[in-house]
Homo-oligomer: A and B are copies of this chain.
Amino acid sequence: MAGAELNDILRRVASGDLTVAEAMGRLATPAFEDLGFAKVDHHRRARCGFPEVIFCPGKTPEQIAEIFLRLASGGGNVLATRAGKAAFEAVAAKVPSAEFHELGRAITYRAGPQPEAHGHIAIVAAGTSDLPIAEEARITAGILDQHVTTHYDVGVAGLHRLLAHGTALQAAKVIVCVAGMEGALASVVGGLVSAPVIAVPTSVGYGASFGGLSALLTMLNSCASNVSVVNIDNGFSAGYIAAMINRQTQA
């Protein structure tokens, strides 16, 4: 809790505006609604500027649908990641306007029309096997009301494909770069642009790719100064961070 809020509560206790019990309650009030199987965080949008996100693995379709409904009722956009078809069907029964994104394994609900875009996020992916992760990033940034362009299948072994996208990449405020195998794309893209690059190593590969470790190390050791890295296959965080950054241009 920030000092300003605390200061305010204390003042109101001093002035008799709040009883001690009310102040205790205020300070203790959980910022979430407890469904038993989950704690729905309604304060989060205020606190973080972004809606709550449902991570589906380990939850039943019914639980996902229930949380989705509560969040949708809260008035903001809703995002559920790593969702399967069964989860979507349960959600759709309660929130008919929810949309399913099969490749990106996500369910979204949009509360209103997307606001006018400022700046844009470029999402670059090396190969077709990296698309589910790239799509997860795209959907995440989109539901956070940011404008996104995608540049897929532009791996470094055929550099001309990447260079053809140079102008678009240089116009982006932030770039998400998704690659498996040797993950060299992040360094190459990093050297072409002056915006921050969020690199997502994927577990695509075989042999000594060791489940994404190879791409992860490549990206961490990038000789380009503008590359930071998220966890293997974590398209969601990359999209989320990119949205946070692009939003800065609109403030």
Contacts and interface: CB of A to CB of B under 8 A. Distances in A.
With most chain B CB atoms within 10 A of its CB, the pick from A129, A161, A218, A236 is A218
Interface string A11-45: 10110100110011001101110000111010000
A237 interface: yes
Contact of A188 (B19, B127, B156): B156
Interface stretch (A70-78, A84-92, A106-114, A190-198): A190-198
A75 to B, nearest CB: 18
A203 interface: yes
* Copies of the polypeptide in the assembly: 8
Contacts of A10: 10, 13, 20, 23-24
B217 A210 contact: yes
Interface in A118-169: 119, 126-129, 153, 155-161, 163-164, 166-167
Interface of A: 1-4, 6-7, 10-11, 13-14, 16, 19-20, 23-24, 27-28, 30-32, 37-39, 41, 47-50, 53, 57-58, 119, 126-129, 153, 155-161, 163-164, 166-167, 170, 173-174, 181-184, 187-188, 190-196, 198, 201, 203, 205-210, 212-234, 236-238, 240-241, 244-246, 248-249, 251
